[in-house]
Amino acid sequence: MHFRVLVLLFAFATVAAKPVVKKAETAGPNPSPKPKASVSKTIPVALPNYDEETSVKLQIFLDNNDFGPGKIDGRMGEFFGKALVHYKRAHGMAETGAVDSWLLDQVPETYTTFTIPPEALNFVGQTASKPSEQAKLKKLNYGSLLELVAERYHSAEDFLKKINPGMKLENLKPGDTVKVPNVLPFKIEDLHEGFAEKNPAFANRKIYIDTKDRFLLIYDDKQLVAEFPITPGSTTLPAPMGLWKILGIATLPVFRHDEGVLQHGQKSDVFYNLPPGPNNPVGILWMGLNKPHVGIHGTNNPETIGRAASHGCIRTANWDAARVKELVTVGNAVSIFR
């Protein structure tokens, strides 16, 4: 079965738009309480001035343990510091920016190599910037092998260029070997178009969207098990405060590009169906909520996570979106708060 029906994801969110509790429609901001163990105040982000090697190791450690530090770039940035504090909070450790040596010992090799296989070209192709042009393509794939490698290893392209001096990464081809961070890779080739089955093992999990600190947190009962940096809505279309639930989870979705929805939150008769792929505007994932036109999704530009605005939705990097879908299930509650 070909999953072109994925374009209906936005539609089913409209048809079935009933909040988990009726208060979510009328109670105004924060109708649901924050989790007791979550971020109740601004997280300290001041960190010691670690060298690049230490920084990369720590980013890899946090990333591999589902506490996303943002893109791996060897810099002690905001998301890096918050991810470290979240990890320590989840494991009952002192919530400081200090790095215990055993954390670094979990990453004995900071870097590894990746030799580009011929089949990588299956995920690289023609790109377009206008929706009218994107709709004519069969896939919205990576624009280059450099983009593929950077996303595969959760990295900034500039950082890959820095650790591969003398290589012209813009001209990569199959057979070339690239030095990369030794992080668990995001494998686009392992994804398939379709809907996720309900997972009873995760029935008690909850997602908390912290729009102030810009993090998605996943709890199993009262235990924090994962967090990832996000972009939560915009000034014009902010993420809707309240308690919602996941209606469906689709991998490699088709995106209904409708300026009426994107600008005003209302469907119009002028739209484009954009094909699936990592450069789809919602990336490799659409997790629809029972709130019209709102979901948790990936992105075609991971550099903007936490910085640029989204159209009312919760946006994550594709490599984080792929992990989120493996940690939650249809029916889970989603609390959006500030």
Beta bridge partners of 231: 315
Residue whose C-alpha is closest to residue 274's, from 294, 259, 289: 259
Please report the pLDDT score of residue 298 as a whole number: 97
For the chain, 338 residues long, give each residue's pLDDT as a single digit of tens.
344 434 434 433 333 333 333 222 222 333 333 444 444 444 555 566 778 999 999 999 999 999 999 999 998 788 888 999 999 999 999 887 788 888 889 999 999 999 999 999 999 999 998 999 999 999 999 999 999 999 999 999 999 999 999 999 999 999 999 999 999 999 999 999 999 999 999 999 999 999 999 999 999 999 999 999 999 977 777 899 999 999 999 999 999 888 776 676 678 778 999 999 999 999 999 999 999 889 999 999 898 887 666 667 899 999 999 999 999 999 999 999 98
Please report the pLDDT score of residue 247 as a whole number: 97
Please report the pLDDT score of residue 325 as a whole number: 96
Please report the pLDDT score of residue 265 as a whole number: 66
Please report the pLDDT score of residue 273 as a whole number: 94
- Pinpoint the alpha helices (H) of the chain: 9-15, 23-26, 52-64, 78-90, 101-105, 131-134, 145-152, 157-163, 259-264, 318-324
Through-space distance between the first and last CA atoms of the chain, rounded to whole angstroms: 41
pLDDT digits (tens, 9 = 90+) for 220-232: 999 999 999 999 9
DSSP string of 257-322? E-HHHHHHS---S--EEEPPSTTSTTTTEEEEESSTT-EEE--S-GGGTTTS--SSSEE--HHHHH
pTM of the model: 0.85
Phi, psi dihedral angles at 256 (to 5 degrees): -90, 100
Residue whose C-alpha is closest to residue 10's, from 299, 255, 280: 255
pLDDT digits (tens, 9 = 90+) for 230-263: 999 777 778 999 999 999 999 999 998 887 766 7
Please report the pLDDT score of residue 65 as a whole number: 97
Walk me through the domains of the chain, giving residue ranges and CATH numbers.
Answer: 3-36+193-337 (2.40.440.10)
Please report the pLDDT score of residue 20 as a whole number: 33
Q: Are 58 and 50 in contact (CB under 8 A)?
A: yes
Please report the pLDDT score of residue 292 as a whole number: 84
Collapsing DSSP to helix, strand or coil, 73 comes out as coil
Show the tokens assigned to 99. Answer: 């790095």
